[in-house]
Structure 1
Amino acid sequence: MFFFLSYQTKVQMLAGDDYRTPVLGSIKEWIQAVPLQFLYALLGYLGDSVNYKDPSSGLKSPLASLPSCYPGIDMPSEGLVRWQLRLEYFAYETLQDLRIAKLFDIIVDYPDSSPAIEDLKQCLAYTGQHSKLVDSFISSLRYRLLTAGASTNDILHQYISTIKALRIIDPTGVFLEAVGEPIREYLRRRKDTIKCIVTMLTDGTGGNAAGTGNTGDSLLEELNRDAESQETVDFDDDFITDDKQAWINAMRWEPDPVDADPSRGGRNIRKIDILGMMVSIIGSKDQLVNEYRVMLAEKLLNKSEYDIDSEIRTLELLKIHFGESSMQRCEIMLNDLIGSKRTNTNIKASLAKLPHTGIEQGGSDMSLDVLDATILSLNFWPPVQAEPINLPVAVDQLLSDYARRFHEIKTPRKLLWKKNLGVVKLELQFEDRTLQFTVSPMHATIILKFQEQTSWTSKNLAAAVGAPVDTLNRRISFWVSKGILVESPGPEGDDHIFTVVDEMTDTNRNGLGRGAFEELSMADEEGERTVASVEEQLRKEMTIYEKFIIGMLTNFGSMALDRIHNTLKMFCIAEPAYDKSLQQLQSFLDGLISEEKLEMRDGMYFLKK
């Protein structure tokens, strides 16, 4: 017992907590150099000298093959071989238990921890204790990851790393199915899962939470390369062209492990498709495509230039996975940007042939050269958010002039401006500094009003820019936070006075550095969107089914989610036909519950009384 305890302690010391270097080889070398040498001397002293060449040994076990390497030992005895196998199994099991206990941390560090994953793979192949890995890792996931404190983005990154790591340990994907199901089930209950998945697919960090992937690589590009590499080694019985290949495939066949779920198909059918697993969390590829379409629209509408190379690359990769028909609207959106750039160039080229004309405002000359327009095929874009705004007169005149020239080039087409969309580059000049900002048209309109007078009340300013007072207060807080404006109480409790700050000492308090030039970029405030979200679009589309649902619950009293879903599919077949998923219906019903139109008890929906 003391020998095995000391042996276990030594293996644990050799293993350590460094997951970036393999340790199994050094453990086996130590076994050869120390314990086996001791046992060789001990067994020799005890008279155990039977070897494999002695026919009287009567050895009939699988140990009959001569071991390949025993340093300093010419001819090992049967007893020594048995001790070697016993010690190696104990070392494999000890290292396996150590790595399984720390598997969550190992996967967090993946791919840097790949050597530890390879060691664990060899240990499990030797011991066959895969079920211990599954049970322990699921327990760690529920305790450390699947909690309210973990962000959806962190959970998804860990899920992807788990897929990659377990694919090394078990290429058949049997144990990944068992481990991944709790993660998928938990993510389905989070509202921001779809948005986070789309962001990870397209954000250019290679799916790495730390952003350490190849520069410019998105998770989608990584998955595409991964799929191509798998295609070079995978084979499909459906495409066998000759009997020779069929025979080769038959010789390669192996049964699934006993833990495999028979409903998932055999190892030759089951393929570990990371993107497919991500889509399975959402429920359907259409939901992912719709979310991507909304995010793409947000990104394109907030571009100050026509650089869309990365978006085109992402779209082409998505078309590979989801088909061209699914991505057709997104392709039209990108074509709108390409066409806008061409139209914008033509309009400005036509200006170069004419005498220079400008619009004077405050001594500054504004021309069409400062305006770049994005021309949308609105029927193919997600619904854009409308916001009332009174642009400065000079800017309004500039838009009218651009629209007139567009009509001359594109007769009979005309422009209908969405004045609250787009970005504005501003340069604010003070006595001792110059600051540059990139802001929304509403922010630009607000600050330009302070050219007319240095102080405004919130009500008067809201009337001047054509926005509600609460909208003004949300937007003007950006300028207050940057130290450009200062807020003070007004004559009325709900009215405030905003004044331009000229002194540099006041702006230092708000984080603006000292110097002649400051360039700051700004994204719109959280919650302010230029495009209707997928949830808002779904809510609008599902409104027509609200009366059907109310009528069903009136007649039947209570219904489960599945029954409501099946009933709508059965009876709502006229245009627009009901084609929503179970998750989308549940989201809509949750909205009706929040509006106190419905209530749910024990999984059944009732009318609110």
Structure 2
Amino acid sequence: MTVDALSSVCNLGVLDSLSQSSIYEILEAWNSFCLITETIVEGDDVNLSTFYSKFQSDVSSLCKFGLRSLVEEQFLKCLQDMLEKHSAPKFWKNFDAYNDVPHAEMNDRSMQEDEVELLLCKALEEISREKQYQEKCLLMLVNSLQLCQEDNTSVEGRHLDMEKIFFSKYRLIVSSVLMTAMPRQFTEILHQYFKGRLEELSTIMAGDYEENDESQDNSQPRNMDIDGIYDQKKTLENKLVSNIGMVVHNLRNLGFTSITEDAYASTIFLLLKDKVYDLAGDDYRTSVLESIKGWIQAVPLQFLRALLDYLGDSMSYLSPKSTKSPLASTPSSCFQKSGKPSEGIVRWQLRLEYFAYETLQDLRISKLFEIIVDYPDSAPAIEDLKQCLEYTGQHSKLVGSFISALKYRLLTAGASTNDILHQYVSTIKALRTIDPAGVFLEAVGEPIREYLRGRKDTIKCIVTMLTDGTGGNNNGPGSGDSLLEELNRDEENQESNSLDDDINTDDKQTWIDIQRWEPDPVEADPSKGSRYKRKVDVLGMIVGIIGSKDQLINEYRVMLAEKLLNKTDYDIDTEIRTLELLKIHFGESSMQKCEIMLNDLIDSKRTNTNVKTTINQLSQTGAESREREVSFEVIDATIISSNFWPPIQDEDVKIPEPVDQLLSDYAKRFHEIKTPRKLLWKKNLGTVKLELEFEDKTLQFTVTPVHASIIMQFQEQTSWTTKNLAAAIGVPVDTLQRRINFWISKGIVAESLGADSNDHVYTLVDDMADGGKSVTNNEALVADDDAESSVASVEDQLRKEMAVYEKFITGMLTNIGNMALERIHNSLKIFCSTHPVYDKSIQQLQSFLSGLVAEEKLEFRDGTYYLKK
């Protein structure tokens, strides 16, 4: 080192104060120090002991003249230069083969199993060996510097501090040099290595886990062969963990702690995710949460314990220093058997369990629509989802995802109202398990309710579902059991479970609610009150779709009347049971008219028997001597109290004279028995059982009186024109054309064009070889799609009742110009407070106004109604 070079690190004034011999001594020591440093650093496993004496002498001489910092800097610079020019390039050159390998090929299993492991292990061994040699060189410098301070006090403490400082600086240099030159594919190579090794280890450990489960289930000790296999597996497991541990140890010593733990941590989480998907999949009938938690204990945590023990760590480097998550449960019971786990393992367990809960939760939420379709068979999946949500608290994710699925898959024009209603009921029952208070059900159910309010057949489908349990879909959910019966059983079970003779139930529940109080989640509707004051009522939520129980009851009356009028017997046990359940939920006064309708059927059966008995007695005594073509035994009358029934559709029809005479005689006897009451026959209603005889076969049908009158006219002549046949049975031509289509479809009557294009000819088919078939009552009625209902629909009744208010509405719109629905409703309540009194709901008014819009009497724009111009 020259004087000029020395002046760069020393004050020139200091040099001036040194003697020539001192300067010469410094230069000689420096040159010798630099030469030895370069020799040992660039050498390959040089015998350091041969240089130690001279090296220590040179360091001592330089330190004597205050050049210690220069010595330290120069030595570390030589180590860094060696790393930058030789060690680091040599290490990274091992991975040059993968510079241009696409990411997809990096995931190739054959590569990760063999090439990556051999390549990574070899490269790490080489650079670790070189690093160990450089650390020996550095230790030689540290020892030399320590000898220079032996005359100072507290030597031992300073020696330890010096060693820590130097090695800390050196590790930082190694990490910086390697990180600066690290190729982009190295991280992926680490991921592939850990993926291959952990999959192999998972296979071994999972086999142990399954065998342990089997041995516990069978409660039998394993024989020697099984013990041998078990020992062999443990040997393979230990060897594999040792190999992985060595790789991790070498990577951490090179300063790759963060990316190393990130690599094996992400691999563990990927394996866990695959395991969750494998166990859960599309099977919703089995709970999988405990199996997943058991696998976590048996595989990843067992690996982490072995790895951390191998590395001598009580805590993972990545273990967060923050306090334990409040969402975390206590360590699993398996830890209690094997002693208290390290804090690092506990934190790993909490991370893995949370990830498992979240993964299973997301999987179940994504399939929640299918899960609810399969409910209650899918109840185990719902229970798993409930536990996951309690752990993660991500209920809002369920609400958002499920609403999107409903809008995309259910609330569409292609879905029938029956299917939507059944899915809604299943949704209520399933989400009631997750959230008994119904907070999230309100948010999820609102789009369904809003959509169903816009469908015209919603009320009818609801009534059908409540009364027969199928909603018109015999193969659908709920078949065979009425929804009302199920609700009634639920209510009884809840009441029986809540009975407590020792303490007042209300006081007890209040105390429980106080202890369990929590604020409602952000998704809760503030207008609904606290979650503990709400109760999920399936029927209440169904009625809430309609908005008024009166509309549901009116629809039920119409449906009940239609069902009773089409009965061929007096069996009404099912209807009575349904009515009793409805009375529980809606009150007896609301169902009074329906109860009278059922009583009419009971009275009809008794009256029918009395009339027939009276007529038979008169015939036997000779008081009634007139011969009849038709016996009274073929007639069963349903006698109704018309004031309590919905409006009955009346239609004039001429029935055959013998049948008409039979009805007159029946009415006469009834009057004699029930004086002063009289019968007024609705000849178009009821059912007729016919037997049609042809040359080669006899066919049986159950049809309406109009259909029977049509076909019986062909006894007189086999061919009729449209006009003549319509006049013979006393119905309009268009009505005849609709009704006769039934017989044409059965192959009994053939249709052809007549002389007049508007007057068709109907002819009885002679050859019945290919036509005709026996049908049941249901088939006959269904086949006659164009036939009018026996009872006026709720819409027709509402239109008739609301017609009196049409002038009021027209007058208001004429004066004001346009009005919103609510304003029209409030105005009618004010102006129609006397006869006629306005007592309709806003939903009924909206239905009536929609009819006026359809008739083009009104216009509806931007939420307001206008007069049609």
Q: Distance in 2 between matches of 1:505 and 1:394?
A: 31
Q: Distance in 2 between matches of 1:541 and 1:286?
A: 15
Q: Does 1:107 align with 2:372?
A: yes
**1:569 aligns to what?**
829
Q: Distance in 2 between matches of 1:449 and 1:506?
A: 23
Give the aligned CA root-mean-square deviation in angstroms.
2.6
Contact 1:553 1:607 in 2 (8 A): yes
Q: Does 1:586 align with 2:846?
A: yes
Deviations 1:5-32 (A, max 9, x none): 2321222112111111111121111111
**2:524 aligns to what?**
260
**1:382 aligns to what?**
646
Q: Distance in 1 between matches of 2:743 and 2:275?
A: 64
Q: 1:10-49 alignment to 2 at 5 Å?
A: 10-49=275-314
**2:747 aligns to what?**
483
Contact 2:653 2:731 in 1 (8 A): yes
Whichever residue aligns with residue 592 of structure 2, its letter is Q
Kindly state the Cα deviation for residue 269 of structure 1 after the two structures are TM-superposed.
1.5
From 535, 539, 542, the counterpart of 1:271: 535
Report the structure number with the largest CA radius of gyration: 2
Whichever residue aligns with residue 492 of structure 2, its letter is E
Whichever residue aligns with residue 523 of structure 1, its letter is L
From 734, 746, 749, the counterpart of 1:470: 734
**2:456 aligns to what?**
191
Contact 1:32 1:71 in 2 (8 A): no
Contact 2:802 2:848 in 1 (8 A): yes
Q: Residue 50 and residue 7 in structure 1: after superposition, are their counterparts in 2 closer, same or farther (change >3 A)?
A: closer
Q: Distance in 2 between matches of 1:305 and 1:431?
A: 32
Whichever residue aligns with residue 781 of structure 2, its letter is A
Contact 1:206 1:219 in 2 (8 A): no
**1:553 aligns to what?**
813
Kindly state the Cα deviation for residue 230 of structure 1 after the two structures are TM-superposed.
3.2
Q: Which moved more, 1:257-266 or 1:401-410?
A: 257-266
**2:576 aligns to what?**
312
Q: Does 1:522 align with 2:771?
A: no
Q: Which moved more, 1:254-263 or 1:289-298?
A: 254-263
Higher relative contact order (CA 8 A, sep 6+): 1
Q: 1:373-452 alignment to 2 at 5 Å?
A: 373-452=637-716
Q: Residue 449 and residue 120 in structure 1: after superposition, are their counterparts in 2 closer, same or farther (change >3 A)?
A: same
From 719, 722, 735, the counterpart of 1:458: 722
Contact 1:93 1:127 in 2 (8 A): yes
Q: Distance in 1 between matches of 2:849 and 2:452?
A: 19
Q: Unaligned 5+ residue runs, structure 1? A: 52-56
Whichever residue aligns with residue 587 of structure 1, its letter is S
Q: Distance in 1 between matches of 2:461 and 2:471?
A: 14
SS at match of 1:506: coil
**1:251 aligns to what?**
515
**1:169 aligns to what?**
434
Q: Distance in 2 between matches of 1:266 and 1:490?
A: 75
SS at match of 2:333: coil
Q: Which moved more, 1:569-578 or 1:170-179?
A: 569-578
Q: Distance in 1 between matches of 2:298 and 2:686?
A: 72
Q: Residue 389 and residue 2 in structure 1: after superposition, are their counterparts in 2 closer, same or farther (change >3 A)?
A: same
From 381, 405, 412, the counterpart of 1:147: 412
Q: Residue 245 and residue 325 in structure 1: after superposition, are their counterparts in 2 closer, same or farther (change >3 A)?
A: closer
**2:465 aligns to what?**
200
**1:54 aligns to what?**
none
Q: Distance in 2 between matches of 1:70 and 1:483?
A: 80
Q: Residue 65 and residue 173 in structure 1: after superposition, are their counterparts in 2 closer, same or farther (change >3 A)?
A: closer
**1:334 aligns to what?**
598
Q: Distance in 1 between matches of 2:343 and 2:853?
A: 74
Q: Distance in 1 between matches of 2:506 and 2:654?
A: 73
Kindly state the Cα deviation for residue 429 of structure 1 after the two structures are TM-superposed.
1.2
Q: Distance in 2 between matches of 1:600 and 1:246?
A: 50
Q: Which moved more, 1:493-502 or 1:305-314?
A: 493-502
Kindly state the Cα deviation for residue 64 of structure 1 after the two structures are TM-superposed.
11
Q: Which moved more, 1:286-295 or 1:447-456?
A: 447-456
Q: Distance in 2 between matches of 1:518 and 1:581?
A: 43
SS at match of 2:403: helix
Deviations 1:199-256 (A, max 9, x none): 10012449987346463x21111122122333345699xx958977754553344443
Contact 1:206 1:218 in 2 (8 A): no
Contact 1:48 1:77 in 2 (8 A): no
Q: Distance in 2 between matches of 1:397 and 1:209?
A: 41
Q: 1:536-551 alignment to 2 at 5 Å?
A: 536-551=796-811
Q: Unaligned 5+ residue runs, structure 2? A: 1-265
Q: Distance in 1 between matches of 2:739 and 2:626?
A: 28
Q: 1:276-295 alignment to 2 at 5 Å?
A: 276-295=540-559
Q: Distance in 1 between matches of 2:330 and 2:516?
A: 25
From 616, 632, 649, the counterpart of 1:368: 632
How many residues are paired up? 591
Q: Which moved more, 1:528-537 or 1:240-249?
A: 240-249
SS at match of 1:605: strand
SS at match of 2:619: coil
Q: Distance in 2 between matches of 1:479 and 1:136?
A: 52
SS at match of 1:355: helix
Q: Distance in 2 between matches of 1:58 and 1:601?
A: 60
Deviations 1:282-330 (A, max 9, x none): 0100000000000000001111111111011111110000001100000
Whichever residue aligns with residue 547 of structure 1, its letter is K
Whichever residue aligns with residue 341 of structure 2, its letter is P
Q: Distance in 2 between matches of 1:196 and 1:235?
A: 36
SS at match of 2:781: coil
Q: Which moved more, 1:10-19 or 1:254-263?
A: 254-263
TM-score under structure 1 normalisation?
A: 0.92
Q: Distance in 1 between matches of 2:597 and 2:507?
A: 49
From 581, 602, 609, the counterpart of 2:862: 602
Q: Which moved more, 1:392-401 or 1:343-352?
A: 343-352
Contact 2:570 2:601 in 1 (8 A): yes
Contact 1:554 1:607 in 2 (8 A): yes
SS at match of 1:331: helix
Kindly state the Cα deviation for residue 543 of structure 1 after the two structures are TM-superposed.
0.5
SS at match of 2:819: strand
Q: Distance in 2 between matches of 1:498 and 1:65?
A: 85
Whichever residue aligns with residue 347 of structure 2, its letter is R
Q: Residue 175 and residue 440 in structure 1: after superposition, are their counterparts in 2 closer, same or farther (change >3 A)?
A: same
**1:123 aligns to what?**
388
SS at match of 2:839: coil
SS at match of 2:553: helix
From 492, 500, 503, the counterpart of 2:756: 492
Q: Distance in 1 between matches of 2:471 and 2:815?
A: 52
SS at match of 2:865: strand
Kindly state the Cα deviation for residue 359 of structure 1 after the two structures are TM-superposed.
7.8
Higher-helix-fraction structure:
2
Whichever residue aligns with residue 307 of structure 1, its letter is D
Contact 2:553 2:591 in 1 (8 A): yes
Contact 2:498 2:505 in 1 (8 A): no
Whichever residue aligns with residue 655 of structure 2, its letter is L
Q: Distance in 2 between matches of 1:446 and 1:41?
A: 91
Contact 2:646 2:791 in 1 (8 A): yes
Q: Distance in 1 between matches of 2:507 and 2:432?
A: 31
**2:589 aligns to what?**
325
TM-score under structure 2 normalisation?
A: 0.65
Q: Distance in 2 between matches of 1:601 and 1:241?
A: 53
Q: Residue 351 and residue 64 in structure 1: after superposition, are their counterparts in 2 closer, same or farther (change >3 A)?
A: closer
Q: Which moved more, 1:26-35 or 1:205-214?
A: 205-214
Whichever residue aligns with residue 785 of structure 2, its letter is E
Contact 2:331 2:349 in 1 (8 A): no
Kindly state the Cα deviation for residue 420 of structure 1 after the two structures are TM-superposed.
0.6
